[in-house]
Amino acid sequence: MPNIHVQTKTGRQAKSLPRWNLKDLLRHQDKDLETFSRTLDGHVRSLEGLRNRLSSTLTPRTFLRGLQLQETIASESSRLAAYAQLWFAQNTQNQRARAFETQVRKHLLPISNRTLFFDLWWQRLGDRTAGRLMKHAGSLRYHLESLRRVKRHTLSETEEQIINVKNSTGRQALDSLYDVITNGLTFQLPSRKGSMPLSREQLSVHFRDPSSHVRQVAYDQFFQVYSKRADALGDIYKTLVMDWKNEGVDLRGYASPIAVRNLHNDIPDKAVSTLLQTCRDNRDVFQEYFRIKARICGFRRMTRYDVYAPPKIKKVLYPFDQAVKLVFEAYQQFSPTLAEHARRVFAERHIDAAPAPGKMGGAFCYSVLPSLTPYVLLNYSGDARDVATLAHELGHAVHSMMARHHSVYTFHATLPLAETASVFGEQLLSDALLADASDAKARQRLLVSQLDDLYATVLRQAYFVEFENQAHHLVAEGTTIDRLAQTYLYLLKEQFGRSVNISKAFQWEWMTIPHIFRSPFYCYAYSFGNLLVLSLFQRYKKEGQSFIPRYLELLGHGGSQSPQDILKPLGVDLCKRSFWQAGFNRIRELVESLEKTVGATT
């Protein structure tokens, strides 16, 4: 795939930004899809050949043979699915990519259903037999424990197969439809030279424009375009919510919609409720921050349009090469091992950084297999936030690479710990930039940027989940789309208090958040990860080099143990409010540091 050029906000032509090479996944998609299908079918038939031998007297050797076949099937399926999804993400309007992704889902669904029997047999085993076989499971132990953890919520084989079939044309199809609709939206931003169609990523740059008028026009255009699709997007959301309830609560018997996510995350309900309540109880620290930021920016009173407004100081833009250098140096100073892993993402051309028409918005890291360097997608435009995003996504990549010695089932960190390395990477970058800040103005700019990000990734994410808690209840009662919008607006006003004036246009913001549609209750992982990292980073600053091996060991666990067990050596108790409060105490210190710069720069 050739490099493309993008126009930076300085008006100068940027250097070519990297586009990823997907050949490590699949070389000739049409030919290899047939080859993959034949190969996978052979592995599946081998696994099916063990079905009649599965019993409480199964030998460890046969058990391990079944696990190895499962791993092989999962690995090859992951490789094929990753190619389809990454090709689609490159351009969601590419008809061939969309058709190929549909083909892949069609090929993988029967494989999932044909192999389901092995997991169900494992779940039905008595504890004594399971314990006997577990002794031989090695690094797959936690994966097997996780399967048994959801035993009482698992249905019969036929019912599970029906759900898989239903999801392929139901939930998964609606997720794809949401992507197709929203990634195909275009926006108009009037200028002296007229207006031209912009993608979401191109428009969202203006949410941080120095001009309050430009920010408001950009936001209003954003919500105007989305609100015109409110009926379609709202119905998609309500259908997804009812599907989550019908399957999770009604069929599987989970206590609540969020309990589905909590159990799969292996996090106690109490820990999640304590986290969310601590976030709501500390909203005042961000309200105070926005009052200080209003003084810095010269606002009589801040509005929601101004939340990400840059301070009235010279804005810094970073060419991509400089951003890469800054991130690599921050990683290198902390751990050469992590820096080397980050460099491999570039060396193997597993990064796609250039904004492009139809390209999936935002940023992500896709860890496919333990043996394969992860893929990173960015939409790089040159501002400080983009540099932090690069550090963040490379953090995800190095986390997976540190755990590459685990199986395909356990090298991924569990969701609550999945943000640890990414947020820690951002902290390393911020700390390095603050250390180099030459005066109070530069320090003020960096503190504002850091606190903006902490608001976006701690309090904002917690309130997304609070909205979901209420929305899932309302949808179950037969609510309207307008009522959902009113609920979101009410929670926004609670979140900001009197520090920020909220325009009614923001009632549609929930429709613009893909995680709320695609992965219900996912977002508390961001609050979890950020507050955890704030605490860990303080320990690093206090303990110095002695902290680093324990941190790398944490990353090396991947998802091979429960979050509680991984964090236990660090003295973390997830159910204690004091643990979460420690993160907010650090945020308060940053707010106090920012307030001191106000006096120093006046």
Structural domains of the chain, ranges and CATH numbers in brackets? 22-169 (1.20.140.70)
User: What span, in angstroms and rounded, lies between the C-alpha atoms of 555 and 350?
Assistant: 21
pLDDT at 365 over 70: yes
Distance CA 366, CA 1 (A): 19
CA angle (306, 182, 91) in 5-degree steps: 115
pLDDT score, position 117: 96
Could you tell me which residues come within 8 angstroms of residue 502 by beta carbon, excluding any fewer than 6 positions away?
Answer: 303, 304, 489, 492, 493, 496
Region for residue 544 given its phi and psi (left: phi exceeds 0; alpha: psi -120 to 50; beta: otherwise): left
Candidates 76, 49, 42; CA nearest to 65 is: 49
Taking only the tens place, the pLDDT of each residue in 182-240 is: 988 999 987 756 677 888 888 998 999 999 999 999 999 999 999 999 999 999 999 99
3 state DSSP class of 571: coil
Question: Can you tell me the distance from the alpha carbon of 324 to that of 141, in angstroms, rounded to the nearest whole number?
Answer: 38
Query: Which residues, other chains included, contact 476 with Cβ-Cβ below 8 Å and sequence gap of 6+?
Result: 241, 242, 245
- Compute the average pLDDT of residues 17-26: 91
pLDDT tens digits for range 284-308:
999 999 999 999 999 988 999 999 9
**Lookup: tokens for 159:** 């019912």
User: What is the CB-side half-sphere exposure of residue 598 using CA atoms within 13 A?
Assistant: 16
DSSP three-state, residue 361: coil
Predicted pLDDT of residue 9:
39
Number of H helices, E strands in the chain: 25, 7
- For 371, the 3-state DSSP assignment is coil
Q: Place 39 in a pLDDT band, splitting at 50, 70 and 90.
A: confident
Least Cα distance to 563 among 578, 549, 587, 579 occurs for: 579
Rounded CA separation 355/473 (Å): 38
pLDDT at 391: 97
pLDDT at 14 over 90: no
The yes-or-no verdict on residue 13 having pLDDT over 50 is: no
The tokens describing 116, both together, are 């389901």
- Does the structure show a pLDDT above 50 at 137? yes
| CA–CA dist 51, 66 (Å, integer) | 9
Report, as an integer, the average pLDDT of 540-545.
Answer: 91
- How many CB atoms within 10 Å of residue 187? 20
Q: At a CB cut-off of 8 Å and minimum separation 6, what does 216 contact?
A: 305
* 348 burial type by CB count under 10 A (0-12 exposed, 13-18 middle, 19+ buried): middle
Q: Using the Cα atoms of residue 294, residue 297, residue 301 and residue 307 in order, give the sign of their dihedral.
A: negative
Angle at 319 between CA 318 and CA 320, to 5 degrees: 110
Q: Compute CA 374 distance to the chain's CA centroid, rounded to the nearest angstrom.
A: 14
Q: How many CB atoms lie within 10 A of CB 294?
A: 18
Q: Where is average pLDDT lowest: 80-84, 537-541, 590-594?
A: 537-541
DSSP 381: -
Q: Within 10 Å of residue 512's Cβ, how many Cβ atoms?
A: 18
CA distance 319 to 394: 18
- pLDDT mean over 343-347: 98
> Smallest Cα–Cα separation from 420: which of 324, 302, 531?
531
Q: How far apart are the C-alpha atoms of 325 and 374, rounded to whole Å?
A: 20
pLDDT at position 600 is 63
Give the up-direction half-sphere exposure of residue 99: CA atoms within 13 A in the CB hemisphere.
Answer: 5
Residue 587: CB atoms within 10 Å: 22
Non-local (6+) Cβ contacts of 343 within 8 A are 328
State the Cα–Cα distance between residues 280 and 462, nearest whole angstrom.
8
Q: With a cut of 50, say whether residue 522 has pLDDT above it.
A: yes
Distance of CA 590 to the CA centre of its chain: 25
According to DSSP H, which parts of 306-375 are helical? 320-334, 336-347
**Residues paired with 351 in a beta bridge:** 376
Average pLDDT along the chain = 91
Q: Which two tokens stand for residue 287?
A: 């309200």
- Residue 437: pLDDT band (50, 70, 90) is confident
Answer whether residue 51 shows pLDDT above 90. yes
Residue range 417-438: mean pLDDT, rounded: 90
**What DSSP state is assigned to residue 407?**
-
CB 403 within 8 A of CB 556: yes
Q: Which residue has the tokens 């997304």?
A: 464
pLDDT at residue 6 in the model: 29
Whether residue 142 has pLDDT greater than 60:
yes
Say whether pTM exceeds 0.85.
no
pLDDT band at 436; cut points 50, 70, 90:
confident
Nearest-10 Cα torsion for 50, 53, 58, 63: 0
List, in order, residues 6 or more apart from 313 with CB less than 8 Å away: 441, 444, 445
pLDDT of residue 601: 61
d(CA 282, CA 285): 6
Query: pLDDT by residue (tens digit) across 227-270?
Result: 999 999 999 999 999 999 999 999 999 999 999 999 999 999 99
pLDDT on residue 313 = 67
SS3 content of the chain, % helix, strand, coil (to 5): 70, 5, 25
Confidence band, pLDDT 50/70/90 cuts, at residue 10 = very low
Name the DSSP class of 478.
T
Q: What is the pLDDT of residue 31?
A: 56
Residue range 118-145: average pLDDT? 94
- Determine what percent of the chain is predicted with pLDDT higher than 70: 95
Q: How many angstroms separate the CA atoms of 221 and 240, rounded?
A: 27
Percent of the chain with pLDDT over 90: 76
345 close to 397: Cβ distance less than 8 angstroms: yes
The mean pLDDT of 81-105, rounded to a whole number, is: 92
Q: Quote the CA–CA distance of 297 and 445 in Å, as a whole number.
A: 11
Q: What is the mean pLDDT of residues 64-91?
A: 94
Structure tokens that stand for 105 in this block: 């889902």
- Token pair, residue 185, equals 């939206």
With 70 as the cut, is the pLDDT of residue 7 above it? Answer: no
Task: Provide the residue type at 326 as one letter.
Answer: L
| Pair 424, 432: CB distance under 8 Å | no
Q: What is the mean pLDDT of residues 165-179?
A: 89
Beta bridge partners of 13: 7
